[in-house]
Chain A
Amino acid sequence: GAGVSQSPSNKVTEKGKDVELRCDPISGHTALYWYRQRLGQGLEFLIYFQGNSAPDKSGLPSDRFSAERTGESVSTLTIQRTQQEDSAVYLCASSGSSGTDTQYFGPGTRLTVL
């Protein structure tokens, strides 16, 4: 079946603009995660959705970052008033009914803030 998909694959924006990144999880996966990978650094957890529970937002770096998920489908990560330090690859992952199952990652969105 289809894997996790993300769009756009690349996004170049100017400092101060808002951007929206999209993630389509594997069908039937109830858990969805966003991570960030800045150049030369490891992956950082951002936010986690599990079914209809309140999301775990503990990794969001500032209030400029927000994410939504409609039911068990698409998620969008929004970054307002982008800064140069937001430049990174944003990765989405999904997993099955248990939050402890294998996480399957999408190809990522490379965000460049000029």
Chain B
Amino acid sequence: KQEVTQIPAALSVPEGENLVLNCSFTDSAIYNLQWFRQDPGKGLTSLLLIQSSQREQTSGRLNASLDKSSGRSTLYIAASQPGDSATYLCAVNGNQGGKLIFGQGTELSVKP
């Protein structure tokens, strides 16, 4: 059974810092991995999707990496801003069709 773990559960940083969020998964047989952000009381916003054949994806200040063999992904946020404050979720699309298995999330707070 696929399990997804995110570390840390919460993180508080001053504005301008670079930071890394971690995601690990137990079954390396995945199609892709997706990072989302969730703002309080809102739905999920897709940030990046990495296919299993890819090593990384970049969008603006965000860079996500994938090491499928070791069951790890990281989300790197450069030059963090208060607007980046949200909960970041990692989700794995495994070998059972399109359903996503989510981690518990990392709650990020960026202080001005």
Pick the interface stretch among A67-75, A77-85, A95-103: A95-103
The contact of B93 among A35, A43, A59, A100, by CB within 8 Å, is: A100
Q: A103-B34, A105-B43, A107-B43 in contact; A56/B99 too (CB < 8 A)?
A: yes
Residues of A within 8 A of B78 (CB): none
Main secondary structure of the interface of B (DSSP, over half): strand
Total residues of chain B contacting the partner, CB 8 A:
24
Q: Report whether B100 and A103 are in contact in the complex, using a CB–CB cutoff of 8 Å.
A: yes
> CB of B60 within 8 A of chain A?
no
Total residues of chain A contacting the partner, CB 8 A:
28
Q: Report whether B98 and A33 are in contact in the complex, using a CB–CB cutoff of 8 Å.
A: yes
Q: A100-B31, A102-B34 in contact; A45/B100 too (CB < 8 A)?
A: yes
Q: Report whether A100 and B46 are in contact in the complex, using a CB–CB cutoff of 8 Å.
A: no
Which residue among A35, A45, A56 has the maximum number of chain B CB atoms within 10 Å of its CB? Answer: A45
Report the minimum CB–CB distance from B18 to chain A (whole Å): 25
Report the minimum CB–CB distance from A93 to chain B (whole Å): 8
Residues of B within 8 A of A48 (CB): 97-99
Q: Report whether B43 and A31 are in contact in the complex, using a CB–CB cutoff of 8 Å.
A: no
* Residues in chain A within 8 A of chain B (CB atoms): 4, 31, 33, 35, 41-45, 48, 50, 56, 58-59, 91, 93, 95, 98-108
Further 10 A-B residue pairs, CB within 8 A, beyond A58-B96, A100-B51, A101-B49: A33-B98, A43-B100, A91-B43, A91-B44, A98-B98, A99-B97, A100-B93, A103-B46, A104-B46, A107-B43
